[in-house]
Chain A
Amino acid sequence: MANLTVKNLHVRVDDESEHKEILKGVNLSMNSGEIHAIMGPNGTGKSTLSETIMGNPRYTITEGDIILNGESLLGKPVDERARAGLFLGMQYPAEIMGVTNAEFMRSAINARRPEDNPISVRAFIKELDKNLEILDMNEKMAERYLNQGFSGGEKKRNEILQLLMIKPTFAILDEIDSGLDIDAMKVVAKGVNSMRSDDFGALIITHYERLLDYITPDVVHVMMGGKVVKSGNASLATKLEDEGYAGLRDELGLDVKLTDEE
């Protein structure tokens, strides 16, 4: 069983204009075989958390630790973290001209294999066809340039396709539901559910409860003001849907301003 633990994580973002602490002591622990959801209002640091776990150099950790299977990830570059088993389904995937989707996914798979033992073309295509079918994607998608000219929904599907091909131990899915209609959301959920096993864990970051109707989480965390303020089972998500974040904030007596509040 694999484990991913976030310990008292404080993170600052260094933009040209501001040096702002966004995460103020996040604690989180998950095992493979589990699906966790992080919910929270806008601007509360959910994406910062996912990018920091993955190792985006834009974010600076000022305190705390991220531990994968007992080993700290701090100081490890993003590619090393990926090969160690992490995957981040991004909100805004980059577009790369001249590199086909298939070529990219093969390189990603081979990056996890010994140099003298790349995946065979036949095995790769078989796996690709299977996963394209799960995600109801046209096989032409594989030959298009990576995310180049993809619609928002196609990009999200393509992130899940990569997830299915790469088979990480832990996947963090950052607002993978944003901008998706209900049919596309069902397809994305089907893809994630097809990964469910004792060797796979997912951390699903979402704004709305709706995605969780299709991917049932084992644990739901609520983030506000740069911290996890409450954790519970799937019913916590339903409660939030009914009462809103303001209700939970007031119940917990937190002094947090919600950005959508005027």
Chain B
Amino acid sequence: MKKQPFTTAADLKAFSQAHHETAAMTAIRMTALQQYLDLPLAEFPKINYRRWLLDEGQPFVANNTSVVAQQPITVNVDQQGTKPATIKLSAEAQATGVVVLDFFTAQAQYPELFAKYYMTLALPKSAHQLAAYHAASVNSGVFIYVPQNVKLTEPLTLNFQQDTTTGQTYVHHVLLVAGEDSDLTILESRQSDDEQVISGNIVEELILEQGAHVHFTAIDRIQTVAYLARRAYLMKNARLDWALGLMNDGDILSDFNTDLVGEGSHTEFKAVAIATGSQSQGVTTRITNYGQHTEGNILQHGVILSDATLIFNGIGHIVRGARDSDAQQENRVLMLSRTARGDANPILLIDENDVRAGHAASVGRVDQSQMYYLMSRGLSKDVAERLVIRGFLGSVLAEIPSAEARDALKRTIERKLIDGQKHRDSAE
């Protein structure tokens, strides 16, 4: 990113005031602007994103010619571009006191929660330049608070769509606070158009208070260049199940981080990714065991077509004192072309003796004897390839507990593969 201010202090203050932000939020922005100038770029092993246009666009000015087609809303939260979120809560969510608010409304209504959790624990704004940029220039988002002991039976569905036609950088924030012993499922869908190269800087912070249990499923279909951070902070005995489908078409720097801070906290991270065309997806998934008796497992499988690049970093870090902890990971990449570039890079950092840790990683090509066998039954090369890929991703898919999420992801995978094959076959 350019090491020059993307805005002036005066413009930043004006934007904050125009959105009726709290004084606290204005102060956060002003500090972050300075930090942005001072901090280094975020480092991700084997991912070089210095040439990516991660700050394309102007965060505070939208060109008003935007014509986003409004979709019929069948979700709880729908947010088009940087416009205020449309929120329709189910009767169940309303009755139990679940709070879902647009980012700008929420900070005035829940100043204590913002002070405590907004860019402090899951992703401190001082972490690196991308985080500071985000804190300074956030221009849209939602806040979700599920109170103590609330157990939702229906998932909360979130639909976020970036609109590049406005020329506005998409700086989007989700702050989710799951109160003590709450239980909920999130089904998130992220998309963008590709009308212009306008970057995204997306940060989602999940705070799980003691005993909270969250299923977090997301399907990403972003077509622009973006930094996409999903960062979780788990307190005692909290449990977080991730299921992510990284079906983006743009260059995406994914930063998935789970801090197992509370004793007995546990996360299962599962992701499938497909890279097609000439895109790059750099995925860094890190779980840090801070608390005793914590468990964190990573399972990520990815497929690469054409000239695309896909890097999986899996980082399992057990800090000193996190006794009786467990960190396992499996990273696998399947390459379908000679020009694909892929890496599965497991990193275990163990500073404690009384732990269990392990990893498996592979980068391979499609087995030609499998292809021959399938094609000998009349399947075209493309269909045979999709079956082998589905099989390869299937072991991750099978572990996604929600049938609805699983089916949605299967459909997205099929579509992304067909598009990727079309692109490849027309290039050949």
A54 CB within 8 Å of chain B: yes
**Cβ-defined partner of A93 (8 Å) among B373, B383, B391, B392:** B373
A79 touches B384 (CB 8 A): yes
- A79 and B381 CA atoms in complex are apart in Å by 8
Residues of B with C-beta under 8 A to A82 = 375-378
Secondary structure call for the B interface: helix
**Mask of B367-387 contacts with A, CB within 8 angstroms, 1/0:** 101101111111111011001
Given contacts A79-B384, A96-B387, contact A104 B374 (CB under 8 A): yes
B395 CB within 8 Å of chain A: yes
Q: Closest chain B residue to A88 by CB distance? A: B376
A166 touches B394 (CB 8 A): no
Q: Closest chain B residue to A56 by CB distance? A: B372
**Mask of A90-115 contacts with B, CB within 8 angstroms, 1/0:** 10011111110001100110011000
**Cβ-defined partner of B372 (8 Å) among A57, A83, A111, A112:** A57
A77 touches B372 (CB 8 A): no
- A135 and B169 CA atoms in complex are apart in Å by 63
Interface residues on A, range: 20 to 34
**Mask of A49-74 contacts with B, CB within 8 angstroms, 1/0:** 00000111100000000000000000
Residues of A with C-beta under 8 A to B359 = none
B376 touches A111 (CB 8 A): no
B361 CB within 8 Å of chain A: no
B375 touches A162 (CB 8 A): no
Residues of B with C-beta under 8 A to A96 = 370, 373-374, 387-388, 391
Residues of A with C-beta under 8 A to B128 = none
**Cβ-defined partner of B391 (8 Å) among A55, A88, A90, A97:** A97
**Mask of A180-220 contacts with B, CB within 8 angstroms, 1/0:** 00000000000000000000000000000000000000000
Residues of B with C-beta under 8 A to A79 = 375-376, 378-381, 384
Q: By the criterion of a CB under 8 Å from any partner CB, how many residues of chain B are at the interface?
A: 23
Given contacts A79-B384, A145-B391, contact A94 B378 (CB under 8 A): no
A104 touches B395 (CB 8 A): no
B372 touches A94 (CB 8 A): yes
Residues of B with C-beta under 8 A to A111 = 377-380, 383
A99 touches B390 (CB 8 A): yes
B320 to chain A, nearest CB (A): 39
Residues of A with C-beta under 8 A to B395 = 97-98
Q: Closest chain A residue to B367 by CB distance? A: A94
A78 CB within 8 Å of chain B: yes
Q: Closest chain B residue to A147 by CB distance? A: B373
Q: Closest chain B residue to A90 by CB distance? A: B373
A97 touches B394 (CB 8 A): yes
B378 touches A104 (CB 8 A): no
Residues of B with C-beta under 8 A to A97 = 391-392, 394-395
Q: Closest chain A residue to B387 by CB distance? A: A99
B308 to chain A, nearest CB (A): 22
- A98 and B394 CA atoms in complex are apart in Å by 6
**CB-CB contacts below 8 Å: B395-415 with A:** 395
Residues of A with C-beta under 8 A to B376 = 54-55, 78-79, 82, 87-88, 90
- A98 and B388 CA atoms in complex are apart in Å by 8
Given contacts A97-B392, A97-B395, A166-B378, contact A107 B373 (CB under 8 A): no
- A52 and B395 CA atoms in complex are apart in Å by 35
A77 touches B375 (CB 8 A): yes
Residues of A with C-beta under 8 A to B374 = 94, 96, 104
B380 to chain A, nearest CB (A): 5
B137 to chain A, nearest CB (A): 43
B392 to chain A, nearest CB (A): 7
**Cβ-defined partner of A94 (8 Å) among B369, B379, B381, B393:** B369
Q: Closest chain A residue to B377 by CB distance? A: A108
Residues of A with C-beta under 8 A to B372 = 56-57, 78, 94
- A107 and B383 CA atoms in complex are apart in Å by 8
- A57 and B378 CA atoms in complex are apart in Å by 15
- A87 and B378 CA atoms in complex are apart in Å by 9
A139 to chain B, nearest CB (A): 20
B370 touches A112 (CB 8 A): no
- A95 and B375 CA atoms in complex are apart in Å by 14
A108 to chain B, nearest CB (A): 4
Residues of A with C-beta under 8 A to B384 = 79
Residues of B with C-beta under 8 A to A94 = 367, 369-370, 372-374
- A108 and B377 CA atoms in complex are apart in Å by 6
Chain A contact residues, CB within 8 Å of chain B = 54-57, 77-79, 82-83, 87-88, 90, 93-99, 103-104, 107-108, 111-112, 145, 162, 166
Q: 24 A-B pairs, CB-CB below 8 angstroms?
A: A78-B375, A79-B375, A79-B378, A79-B381, A79-B384, A88-B376, A90-B376, A94-B369, A94-B374, A95-B370, A96-B370, A96-B373, A96-B387, A97-B391, A97-B395, A98-B390, A98-B393, A99-B391, A99-B394, A108-B378, A108-B379, A111-B378, A162-B377, A166-B378
Closest 10 pairs between A and B when the two form their complex, measured CB to CB: A98-B391, A98-B394, A82-B378, A94-B373, A108-B377, A79-B375, A111-B378, A83-B378, A94-B370, A78-B375
